[in-house]
Structure 1
Amino acid sequence: MRNRRRGLIAVLLAPVLLVAGCVSVPMAGPVEQGDAVTDPVDTDFEFLPAGPTPGATQEEILQGFFAATTASQENYRIARSYLSDAISSEWNPYQSTLVRAQEGFVERLDDTTLEYSVQVIAEVDAVGRYRVAPEATEQTLPEFRFTREGGEWRIAELGDGILISQQAFPSAFSQHVLYFYDPTFTNLVPDLRWFPTRSGVPTRIVRALLDGPSSWLDQGATVSAIPEGVALVAAPVGIVDGQAVVDLSSEILELGDVERQRLLAQFRASFGSLGNVAGVQLTVDQTPVTIAATTEVPEVNPQVDGRLLLMGPDGDRFGFSSGGATVEPVGRLSERAIELGAVSLALGPTRTVGAMLTEQGAWIVRSNDLEPLLLDNRADLVPPSFDGFQLMWTATSDASEGLSAITTGGEVIPVDVVLPEGTRLVSIDVSRDDARILMLLQGESGPRLVVGAIARDEASGRPLRIGDLLDIPIDGAAGATAVDAAWVDEVRVASVIESSQGTAVDLHELGGRSRSLGRPPGAVQIVGGNGGVTGLRVLTDTGVVVEPRGNGWQSTGVRASFLGVQQ
């Protein structure tokens, strides 16, 4: 006898052959490229698909079931109405979610069994981790077996999990940012997750936090303030007068004051995406846990100066521009950048020290009277980055040479990283939380965009290595040339590539989807600022700085020879 409950997906992206003569199961509407979710889902919107209709065929029941899985209200009540009484309560829709690119095909195996094959482009696992398929592949789902109940067909056997179209995904799922700490407990590090919009999101956030960070972050780059073995005792997590009440097991009572403060800060930050949650109350056996107040809370998604940092078009002005030709210098740092002929500059979060590239190499440069230090004079350096631990990150375009982190005193710290063979580095950028590094590569077949987690010593913050890389697909990369990349905000990055169609900017979510931001002509550099996409600025090959407006890009009226990066 077959097992009635199997995983909807055994191995993501396993290729299968479709049997000739399959019948298409139509889904509503044409397939289109989905847009990234940039705003919270409208929680007042209610989508309630229909339940089974009398006399429906097996194919119609299957089609209706797929449509109903877009509505998670009341624990997928409508979708369960398509299932037999015996399996309805056993089916676990939260096990995984497959995102399909287009309509699937159904094949009849016998009088009571249908098989469904579909092109899968992504998967969301049980704790909200979104994984993009390297390329869309056909996949066959576990068989759907049918039985009659009260004279009507119902599904009696199916796999756990759901299947959803890329069109329906943004309405059916909402994105939430979980937070973990770096090993020094200095910064909170974001981890993007996706949960069914109306199905116990607070509880899913807590369970995902207890499960830990995504694997690419969980390699010495992040730690949790939640002690090992802590469990959620009372579920669902309730919201009382704007407070999320999280009842945990007694292990948290063993924590000291500082550890409890860190624990509360981690939970508060992770509930930040919920508009109906203003605070968090941790309890054990429904009794509030005493946590001393503190003002030492890590900043979430750090902001920078809202003005554009740039070098003037003639190389004779460097500093912050509010528009037009006026530039406010950054102390003596601006003088040194002009005198030494800077071609790139990354300014640290204190705005008093930065990493500068000239024809001679990579320098540490300060806003005070201390002289600049040439600390890496290798040829073919990419523009250096600078982090909150006062380290300059350097690399040559030869990806096999790895990365170097250099202290302001000149100590060189080699940082191991395994980059794809046959690629060269184009750009490197450390995130503002100092826990991740964005790298744009040029491969033989086109650009590649990767992010790696920075494992650091828990006492000193010295980088030790870069973990396994998160590969971010770039649409239209085949045969194109890598130009630049930048952090947009804490969970999104932007890439610029050049092809026969010109230069293109794409927006990528780390643990989510991608979409086009248009084609600013002649783009040669991109930098992030504040406010997500609206804070992006692109420098063109004519020296004009452009910004996103509507569906395109328009001039800011500012000209520059290069744009400074603000850490």
Structure 2
Amino acid sequence: MRIGRILRGAVIALALLGLTACASLPVTGDVRPGLAAGQSGGGSDLAFVPQGPSNGMDPKDIVRGFIDAASSPKESWSIARQFLTADEAQKWKPDAGVTIDTGSAERRFDVPDVAKEATSTSVHLSLQQAGAVDETGAYSGAPVNRAAELMFTLAKNKDGQWRISAAPDGIVLDADSFAAADVFAPYALQYFDPSWTYLVPDVRWFPKRENTASRIVQSLVSGKPSPWLSGAVRTAFTGDIALGRNAVTFDSQIAEVALNDAANKADPVTLARMRTQLERSLSSLSGAGVLQVKLTSSGRDLNAGAATAAPTAVDPRPLVLTDKGFGYLAGGELTPIDGVSVPLQNFPEQITAIRAASGAQRVAVQGVSGIVYAVADGRTDEIDARPGLIPPALDPFGYIWTVPRTAPSSILAWPNSASASASRSLAGPSDAGQITAMAVSRDGARLAMAVTANGQVRIEVVAIARDDRGAPTGLGVADPNVIAWPAAALDIAWLDDTTVGVLATDAASPLLRQQQVGGPARTVDVPEATQTIAPGSPTTSVQLFGNGVLWVRSGPAPTQVSTNVKVLAVQIGGQPGG
């Protein structure tokens, strides 16, 4: 029986805890698929319109009705505010965050006996929390079925009707409603990596309202990246530069962002980077259709240019090794790669794993012996011969990452030079006894790992600190609040810039967890023989491989592409460097 059927309805969460530099991916059941970061699901006018309070409702019904009404942010939660006293309606801050629970059936309302003549009382709400969104919009997963409590104070108004006089800020949503992204939706704030080469997404959840664009801009300009990304990202909005006006104004598809006078002193490169961060962050607003951002200060156009950000897309063609050679597969034909295909055809041992950056001009290869090699320009160089190595990772700056299965803390990152003195030693999770898979994100800012500690498997995404040339200098600290993965993790790949794919097993049958970094996940079925996963294009596409067969899944079911494949190479996107 599949885990998803046992624990249906639970949120699969990425624990982005505010004071850690690492994120753990808890997987405890299925959810309804949420939208990818970059999709807002339309405008803020939602189809569901809750009911306001009616005369004679008792305190429990008032609180229950308030929670239901808070699922509609329409007109600044006007319906939910009807359940509050006039004073509390002004104080309550619904967009301060979300308490995500396992469902309304698990909610328990405790109301003390209230005399008929009483004018005040309280309602104690107990629920099973499955996650949360904080005041910055950052999502965190909580252990499933963790008890949480909320307290509401009520008073009778002049008409003798109960209203809530004190309510916790934020709203309560069940896991399915949250994952559907009908109330709060994911938006990716864009930061640069330390070398100013790539844009790195930091997913935040904001209410779907008319002023969402302003919330995104405020968070990017005046806020900070999520703490777990410390050392992995940087922003052009530094020093005294701040917003001159909180609201974003629109003229056709051009968004005007007003900055303070300090922006007048910014150099053209900084202005271009600021504009690019804003444009890419606002591009996720489907309703606004933002194509361009204009930066102004005191009403004057700053004439900001646009910065270049390296692409992270992968080639849509599967990159494979077959009896005919190595190359891109399309229409049954193989397109070879200069300097790489011939050495792989003549490789001295059976190949078990291949990792390739954009263009596949340099690939990391592992043979059946376990030794990891670099292949480029017609050369095959031995990189790491330590015993027990897991399949290598490759990053967009050209570094090949290796680690022994039983030594997760002994990660090495190798540049184009294969000499041992050139490798970078990076301390992985010190508490883990085993690591089974790892993958570097396409922007090079994050590392996903499947590790085992004390008999429990967990998935972590940690920040990668780099110098301004892209060389890795360290990893984020492990999250102390680890949540177990309930199945063996066979393979990990970044399916897009915000989604980690984890190939796992459930009672010997494989399944694919598509985990949004900074949000919930969904589970999809894969063919029984699946052993390797790789990203495809468009980003909703996943390549699957096992026992010589290659499938591509772009819809509800995988499509068989070839039955003559030896190895599916995992493309990471980005530009090869080093």
**TM-score, structure 1 normalization:** 0.87
1:456 corresponds to which of 466, 478, 493: 466
Query: How many Å separate the matches in 2 of 1:350 and 1:504?
Result: 29
Match of 2:70 in 1: 69
What is the distance in 1 between the residues matched to 2:441 and 2:514? 16
Partners in 1 of 2:271 and 2:96 — Cα distance?
32
Matched, 1:565 2:570: yes
Shift of 1:306: 1.3
1:514 and 1:470 map into 2 onto residues whose CA distance is 19
Name the residue aligned to 2:330: 322
Asked whether the 8 Å contact 2:232–2:464 carries over to 1, the reply is yes
Which among 158, 181, 200 is matched to residue 189 of structure 1?
200
Give the match for residue 18 of structure 1: none
Q: Is 2:83 the partner of 1:82?
A: yes
Q: State the Cα deviation string for residues 371-395 of structure 1 (Å, max 9, x = none).
A: 2211211111112222222221111
Paired residue total: 525
Q: Which gives a bigger RCO, structure 1 or 2 (Cα 8 Å, sep 6+)?
A: 2
Spell out the pairing of 1:52-201 with structure 2 (5 A cutoff): 52-103=53-104, 104-109=107-112, 111=114, 112-169=121-178, 170-201=181-212
Gaps of 5+ in 2: 1-15, 18-28, 115-120, 573-578
| Distance (whole Å) between structure 2 residues aligned to residue 343 and residue 157 of structure 1 | 61
Alignment of 1:334-373 (within 5 A): 334-340=341-347, 341=349, 342-358=351-367, 359=369, 361-366=371-376, 368-369=377-378, 371-373=379-381
Distance 1:470 1:298 in 2: 30
Structure 1 position 298 matched with structure 2 position 309: yes
CA positional deviation for 1:179: 0.5
Matches of 2:261 and 2:477, distance apart in 1: 35
**C-alpha deviation, 1:119, in angstroms:** 0.8
Distance 1:143 1:248 in 2: 40
* Contact 1:97 1:125 (C-alpha < 8 Å) held by counterparts: yes
Give the Cα separation in 2 of the matches to 1:157 and 1:322: 63
Superimposed CA distance per residue, residues 384-408 of structure 1 (whole angstroms, 9 cap, x where no aligned partner): 2222222211111123442111121
TM-aligned CA distance change 1:284 to 1:176, over 3 Å: same
- Partner residue in 2 for 1:22: none
Aligned partners of 1:507 and 1:404: how far apart in 2?
Answer: 27
Aligned residue in 2 for 1:21: none
Given the superposition, is the C-alpha separation of residues 282 and 149 from structure 1 closer, same or farther in structure 2, using an over 3 Å criterion? farther
Which deviations, in whole Å up to 9, do the C-alpha atoms of 1:80-131 show, x marking residues without a partner?
1111012111111122211111221110135311111111111111221111
Contact 1:105–1:116 (8 Å) recurs in 2: yes
1:538 pairs with 535, 544, 547, which one? 544
- Residues 27-65 of structure 1: per-residue CA shift (max 9 Å, x gap): xxxx98332224541326443212111222212211111
Unmatched tracts of structure 1, length 5 or more: 1-11, 14-30
**8 Å Cα contact 2:137/2:205 also seen in 1:** yes
Instruction: For residue 513 of structure 2, give the secondary structure of its aligned residue in structure 1.
Output: strand
Distance 2:525 2:548 in 1: 19
User: Which residue, 492, 495, 499 being the options, matches 2:499?
Assistant: 492
- CA deviation vs aligned residue, 1:491-547 (integer Å, no higher than 9, x gap): 00111112325111111000000111114202211111222232x11112x221122
Instruction: From the superposition, tell whether residues 344 and 472 of structure 1 become closer, same or farther in structure 2 (CA, over 3 Å).
Output: farther
Alignment partners' CA distance in 1, 2:153 and 2:210: 25
Offset at 1:471?
A: 9.7
Residue 299 and residue 110 in structure 1: after superposition, are their counterparts in 2 closer, same or farther (change >3 A)? Answer: farther
Which position in structure 1 is the counterpart of 2:215?
Answer: 204
Deviations 1:133-186 (A, max 9, x none): 133311111333333232221111122111112232221112111100111111
In structure 1, the residue matched to 2:42 is 42
In 2, the alpha carbon distance for the partners of 1:522 and 1:472 equals: 34
**Is 2:154–2:162's contact at 8 Å kept on the other side of the alignment?**
no
The Cα offsets for residues 206-245 of structure 1, whole Å up to 9 and x where unpaired, read as 1221211111112x11111101343333233222222222
Structure-1 residue corresponding to 2:529: 522
Whether contact under 8 Å (1:415, 1:466) holds in the other structure is: no
In the alignment, what sits opposite 2:438? 428
What does the per-residue CA deviation read over 1:405-450, in whole Å, with 9 as the maximum and x for residues that have no partner? 1121224333323416243122221111111122222455453221
> What's the CA shift string for 1:234-291, capped at 9, x where partnerless?
2332222222222222222221111111111111111110132221122223332232
Matched letter for residue 398 of structure 1:
T
Residues 366, 372 of structure 2: 8 Å contact kept = yes
State the partner residue of 1:551: 556
> Which aligned pairs between 1:381-530 and structure 2 lie closer than 5 A?
381-411=389-419, 412-419=422-429, 421-458=431-468, 460-469=469-478, 477-478=485-486, 480-530=487-537
In the alignment, the residues of structure 2 paired with residue 285 and residue 434 of structure 1 have an alpha-carbon distance, to the nearest angstrom, of 38
My pick for the range that moved more, 429-438 or 463-472, is 463-472
- 1:67 alignment partner, SS class: helix
8 Å Cα contact 2:409-2:429 kept in structure 1? no
- Taking a change above 3 Å as real, the CA distance of residues 410 and 372 of structure 1, as seen in their structure-2 partners, is same
For the aligned residue pairs, the C-alpha RMSD in angstroms reads: 2.4
Which of residues 295, 302, 323 in structure 2 aligns to 1:282? 295
Give the structure 2 partner of residue 265 of structure 1.
Answer: 276
Deviations, residues 314-360 of structure 1 (Å, cap 9, x unaligned): 5x521111143x32211231121222232212122243112111226
For 1:409, the aligned partner's letter is S
Kept in 1: contact 2:411–2:428 (CA 8 A): no
C-alpha contact (below 8 Å) 2:391/2:402 kept by paired residues: yes
Give, as a single letter, the amino acid of the residue that structure 2 aligns with 1:249: N
1:474 deviation in Å? 8.9
Tell me the distance in 2 between the aligned counterparts of 1:563 and 1:234: 51
